[in-house]
């Protein structure tokens, strides 16, 4: 009975700590924007250089009312999702092929290292020329940032599985393909979700860089246009919207990760 009470106390304390953390996070946000607004209103900071929250909010309402903002957001999200999905899936497939072929992995290893070291954002103009201007070129830039890191990360995760599990499967005459689907993939669901989290940021970087260079729409275009005409409220609005959308995408992956974690915990309890 004591054990149940202590577990209950632990869960209550955990829930209380989570609520406290959320309150602190929201408080930091309120203090940050409130302080920013006050400093701008009292001319302590230059409003022309960094704008202020009220001006950003008013511009946001104007863009929403005109329908322009949703169009820009929709285009950027579409390009980002394409880059994220294609880059992650292709990287995962190539990592799987490298795991199945040790010789191929050894041959391609130095090339992957070089590709990972290349400043891909600097190569964005070349990639856009090759792929074409517009959505295709922007998506290719986005893919280029995520695919190599996905290959390297997934391959490393595949190779670092507990060797005892591999040996156990081999004692049952399991093929490498069977080991892949029965051991490697199930054991790396959490790792794959971590890679997707990283790729969200990389995909957005690729899209924004691409939109800086060639696009006439999208969040990246709003930011670069705002900078060109010295509309810092437009620049900051774009940055804030970008941050919110990236956070939402990250939280969606967190929910998926939470689902798999709960499922795994439930399975362990059933097995016991």
For residue 242, the domain's CATH number is: 1.10.3720.10
Strand, coil or helix: what is 213? helix
CA distance 242 to 151: 26
Q: How many domains, in total, are found in the chain?
A: 2
Please tell me whether residues 149 and 251 are part of one structural domain: yes
> Tell me, what's the pLDDT at 230?
86
Rounded to 5°, the CA angle 11-17-22 comes to 130
CA distance 189 to 18: 25
Containing domain of residue 31, as a range?
A: 1-45
Q: Does residue 189 come out as left (phi exceeding 0), alpha (psi in the -120 to 50 range) or beta?
A: alpha
102 burial type by CB count under 10 A (0-12 exposed, 13-18 middle, 19+ buried): exposed
CA distance 209 to 76: 11
Does residue 50 fall inside a structural domain? no
Please tell me whether residues 16 and 136 are part of one structural domain: no
> Tell me, what's the pLDDT at 139?
94
Indicate the pTM of the whole model: 0.85
What's the pLDDT tens digit per position in 72-116? 999 999 999 999 999 999 999 999 999 999 899 999 999 998 888
Contact call for residues 34 and 26 (beta carbons, < 8 A): no
What's the pLDDT tens digit per position in 169-210? 888 888 888 888 888 998 888 899 999 999 999 999 999 999
> Tell me, what's the pLDDT at 270?
59
Q: Does position 233 have pLDDT exceeding 60, yes or no?
A: yes
């Amino acid at each position: 009975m004591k054990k149940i009470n202590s577990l209950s106390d632990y869960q209550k304390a955990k829930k209380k700590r989570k609520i406290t953390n959320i309150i602190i996070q929201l408080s930091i946000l309120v203090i940050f924007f409130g302080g920013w607004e006050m400093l701008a209103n009292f001319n302590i900071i230059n409003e022309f250089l960094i704008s202020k929250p009220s001006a950003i909010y008013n511009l946001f309402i104007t863009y929403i009312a005109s329908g322009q903002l949703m169009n820009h957001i929709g285009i950027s999200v579409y390009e980002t999702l394409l880059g994220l999905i294609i880059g992650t899936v292709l990287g995962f497939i190539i990592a799987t092929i490298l795991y199945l072929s040790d010789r191929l992995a050894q041959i391609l290893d130095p090339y992957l290292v070089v590709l990972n070291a290349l400043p891909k954002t600097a190569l964005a103009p070349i990639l856009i020329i090759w792929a074409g201007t517009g959505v295709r070129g922007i998506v290719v830039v986005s893919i280029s940032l995520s695919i190599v890191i996905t290959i390297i990360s997934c391959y490393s995760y595949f190779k670092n599985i507990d060797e005892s599990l591999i040996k156990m499967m081999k004692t049952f005459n399991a093929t490498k393909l069977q080991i892949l689907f029965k051991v490697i993939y199930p054991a790396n669901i959490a790792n794959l979700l971590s890679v997707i989290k990283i790729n969200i940021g990389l995909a957005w970087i690729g899209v924004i860089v691409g939109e800086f260079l060639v696009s006439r729409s999208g969040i990246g275009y709003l930011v670069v246009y705002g900078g060109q005409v010295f509309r810092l409220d437009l620049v900051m609005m774009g940055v804030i919207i970008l941050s919110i959308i990236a956070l939402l995408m990250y939280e969606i992956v967190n929910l998926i990760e939470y689902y798999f974690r709960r499922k795994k915990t439930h399975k362990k309890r059933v097995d016991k």
